[in-house]
Copies of this chain bind each other. A is one copy, B any other.
Amino acid sequence: MLNGLDHIGIAVADLEQAVPLWLKITGGKLVHREIVASQKVEVAVIEIGSLHVELLRGVSDDSPIAKFIAARGAGIHHIALRSTAAQEELDRLKQTGVRLIDETVRTGAEDSRVGFIHPKSVEGVLLEVVEPGHK
């Protein structure tokens, strides 16, 4: 089951520019920063009230974020929905004929379990299923 929003992911070219820009515009605060090697991204999390925005920079040219920016420019990249059981959720989606990028969960930021649904199955929207880490 999907319980609501975990975060919104934004592709940015340069975190040193994007973080202060987002803080200025939204009045939010920077609450986390991490390199997620498995996804080849550096993440900066901006908290705006109860909303978490993940600013994402590709750490290599073959990172999905770098490819996205090369193809479409910086901008909104994905919507991450929260689940208490990400693998079960991916299994359920696959059974209903939804195309997945990840059929098996992998490790995301803050020790979460994550999997992406293919945008071809969601009319151009990249959705991520996130099971928060149990720290």
Contact = CB atoms under 8 A, between A and B. Distances in A.
Interface of A: 1-5, 8, 10, 12-13, 17-18, 21-22, 24-28, 48-51, 53, 72-76, 78-79, 81-82, 93, 96, 98, 117, 119, 121-127
Given A8-B8, A119-B75, A3 B49 contact: yes
A78 B8 CA distance: 11
Contacts of A76: 76, 78-79, 124-126
Contact of A123 (B21, B51, B93): B21
A21 B79 contact: no
Nearest to A8: B79
B25 A121 contact: yes
A119 B21 CA distance: 12
A86 B123 CA distance: 31
B25 A117 contact: yes
Given A25-B93, A49-B82, 7 more contacts: A2-B27, A4-B48, A4-B49, A5-B5, A8-B8, A72-B72, A75-B124
